[in-house]
Amino acid sequence: MSLSEQTRSKIEQQIASNRVVLYMKGNPRQPQCGFSAKTAGILDELSPGYSTFDVLADEEIRQGIKIYSDWPTIPQLYIDGELIGGCDIVTDMYNSGELHTALGLEAPDRTPPEISISDQAAEKIRMGMQDHTGMALHMSIDANWQPQFGLQPAQGNEISASSNGITLLFDLQSAQRARGAVIDWVDALDGSGLDVTLPAAPAPVKPMQADELKQAIENGTAPLIVDVRSQQDRDSVAPITGAMVLDRDTLTELQNRPAETPMVFVCNVGNSSRGAAEHFRKLGFTDVYNLQGGMQAFNSTG
């Protein structure tokens, strides 16, 4: 497949118009593949104002960007007009601090997290590692704050933390999320295993009923209302008075607000807004709501 001049020009304009551009599947609020989600998650942390292009929305760009960059996969990250690479390279650069440098940021905090491993958990871990000479115990915590353990050789750029004679290795993001982690062993009816408590995890998205939001608006105590609907849907059903429309500029503004800012996300029926609310929860916002039933419920409530 050849790259048309029209597609090449479009790609060059996109890259030239934005300092940080991520070609991905989906968008940061609703990524359509794990690699895109992981890369966007890193950029959410380091460079909230980055630009994205959903290759699933334009087949010419989806195939053309691979030819343009001579890079066979998506996602692809560009900084200052230069191709950085895909998910694996971005992740490696993030963990080493090279990505911070490329973005003009200070070196990352590599302070080991304080963790606590119970006696029983430590005993079970030692038993499990007996026949795995040369392997290290890694703990990762994903964007949904789900911990996972794995045995693999140390790569050299991990952050290590120890408790009760056990050493765990973390990537940079996981080390931040693991601060204060308590690891225990539990025996339950559905099986036994390690149990991890993560004090740093943000509070879950909370449901808000339509009448509850209306009452808060009347009382002047409503959280920031963010409407995630399309322009067509807003033309059909007017937004709640005072609501912010979630566009690119608003996204950047909201991401720069204090983490304790209360926000309620609104769509037609409460599904798309839940995804947007989860995006902000994963960024560390601690007081996030989703309007149950969306605008349909809001407008049908007396």
Q: Are 273 and 296 in contact (CB under 8 A)?
A: no
Structural domains of the chain ordered from first start: 5-102 (3.40.30.10), 116-197 (2.60.300.12), 206-300 (3.40.250.10)
For position 302, what pLDDT does the model report? 66
- Is the pLDDT assigned to residue 192 strictly greater than 70? yes
Q: What mean pLDDT value characterizes the chain?
A: 93
Residue reference for tokens 């963790």: 115
Please name the helix (run of DSSP H) or strand (run of DSSP E) that holds residue 301, with its range, or none.
none
Specify the amino acid at residue 253. Answer: E
Number of residues assigned to the chain: 302
Instruction: Give 142's pLDDT tier (boundaries 50, 70, 90).
Output: confident
Please give the model's pTM, rounded to 2 decimal places.
Answer: 0.70
pLDDT band, very low/low/confident/very high, at 122 (cuts 50, 70, 90): very high
**What are the beta bridge partners of residue 200?**
none
Euclidean distance between CA atoms 110 and 88, whole angstroms = 20
- By the 10 Å C-beta count (0-12 exposed, 13-18 middle, 19+ buried), 131 is classed as exposed
The per-residue pLDDT for range 21-60, each reduced to its tens digit, is: 999 999 987 899 999 999 999 998 898 789 999 999 999 9
Residue partners of 54: CB distance under 8 A and separation at least 6: 24, 25, 26, 27
Q: Which pLDDT score, from 0 to 100, does residue 1 have?
A: 62
| 234 pLDDT more than 90 | yes
The b-or-e profile of 47-79 (16+ CB within 10 A means b, else e) is beebbbbbbeeeeebbebbbbbbebeebbbbbb
Q: Hey, is 84 helix, strand or coil? A: strand
SS3 call for 118: coil
What CA–CA distance (Å, rounded) separates 203 from 180?
Answer: 16
Q: What percent of the chain has pLDDT over 90?
A: 81
pLDDT for the residue 156: 87
Q: What is the pLDDT of residues 199-215, one digit of tens each?
A: 998 888 999 999 999 99
Return d(Cα 143, Cα 279) in angstroms, integer: 9
Please give the average per-residue pLDDT across 289-294, as a whole number: 97
Per annotation, catalytic residue among 40, 121, 208, 267:
267
87 is catalytic: no
Please provide the DSSP assignment of 119-164 as one string. HHHHHHHHHHHTT-TT-EEEEEE-TT--EEEEEE---S--EEEEET
